[in-house]
Amino acid sequence: MKKWFFLLAALLLGAVTGGVPFSGVDAAELQPVELLYLNRTGGMLEISTDTGDSGRGADLAAAFRDLKAGAAGKIFLETADTLLLDPSCKELSNELPQYLRPACGVCLGVGDISKTDLWEINEYLSAHEPGVTLLDLRAGQTVIPILRFKLGEMRLVE
């Protein structure tokens, strides 16, 4: 019995001192993202989230890296429900399943969308889900629903 206690104590000690080769992130530290907005500004890709975080980069990988590095907690993309694409980023839709789950809905954002509008847009898209997902795009779907946004008013056009 003693050896079991010693083993458990050693494991706990290892965990406290960081000697255990496993590291997790507590759920409390996660920044669960529900909506991402992908657009281009000044020749750079910019990803903004409904949590208020954003990242920029020359390509998707760099933009996601910047997004994760600049966030207050750990950006958690597994909860992303919708991806809002600027029409200029439409061609990146095939690369996005590498970063987001395939069931994530996709729509094109048209209008004067700013980062501050994302929370409101997320509320709207939670109620009006776009019928197309990243998986559909990968499977060859070409028609993407459009979210028209103007002066705070929005409308999803299939």
Partner 1 sequence: MEQPTPRPDPAYPGEMNDENIRAIFEGAGDFVPRLLQCGKWTLYAYAIDGLVSGGDISEYVLKPIAEILEAESLQDLYEKALRGAVYNAVADPCKDLDTVALKLVNGFCVVLFPGVGAIAFEVKTGEKRGPSAPEVENTVKGPKDAFVETVRSNTSLVRRHLRSPDLRLYETKVGRRSLTNVTVVSLKGVTNPELVERMKTRLDEIDVDGFLSPAAVEEYVSGSRPTAFPLLQYTERTDTFCQGILEGRVGLIVDGLPLGYLAPVDLGYFMSSGEDRGVDFVSASCIRVLRYCALLLGLLLPGLFIAMATFHQEMLPLPLLRAIIESKESVPFSTAVEVLGLLIAFELLQESGIHLPQAIGQSVSIIGGIVVGTAAVEAKLISPAALIAVSVAGICGFVQPNRDLAEAVRLWRFALAVLGALAGLFGVTVGLIGLVIHLSGLTSLGVAYLAPFSNVKNASILRPRLDRNKQRNPDLNPQDGRNQR
> Of these, 44, 76, 124, 156, which contacts partner 1 (CB under 8 A)?
76
- CB-nearer residue toward partner 1: 21 or 42: 21
We find the least distance from the C-beta atom of residue 20 to partner 1, in angstroms, to be 5
The amino acid present at 155, given as its one-letter code, is R
Closest distance of CB 78 from partner 1, Å:
5
Phi-psi region of 89 (alpha: psi -120 to 50; beta: other; left: phi over 0): alpha
Helices (H) and strands (E) in the chain, counts: 4, 9
150, β-bridge pairs: 153
Point out which span in 44-52, 71-79, 92-100, 136-144 binds partner 1 (CB under 8 A): 71-79
Which position among 17, 18, 27, 153 is part of the footprint of partner 1 (CB under 8 A)? 27
Quote the least distance from Cβ 24 to partner 1, whole Å: 4
97 near partner 1 (CB under 8 A): no
Strand order in the sheet with 54-57: 54-57, 44-49, 35-41, 82-85, 105-111, 146-150, 153-157
Question: Parallel, antiparallel, or unpaired for β 74-76 and 30-32?
Answer: parallel
57 vs 73 by CB, closer to partner 1: 73
The reply to whether 151 sits near partner 1 by the rule CB under 8 A is: no
Q: Name the β-bridge partners of 108.
A: 85, 146
Residue 52 φ/ψ region, left for φ over 0, alpha for ψ in the -120 to 50 degree band, beta for the rest: left
Closest CB to partner 1 among 22 and 152? 22
What does the binding site for partner 1 look like in residue numbers (CB under 8 A)?
Answer: 1, 4, 8, 11-12, 14-15, 20, 22, 24-28, 30, 32, 76, 78-79, 81
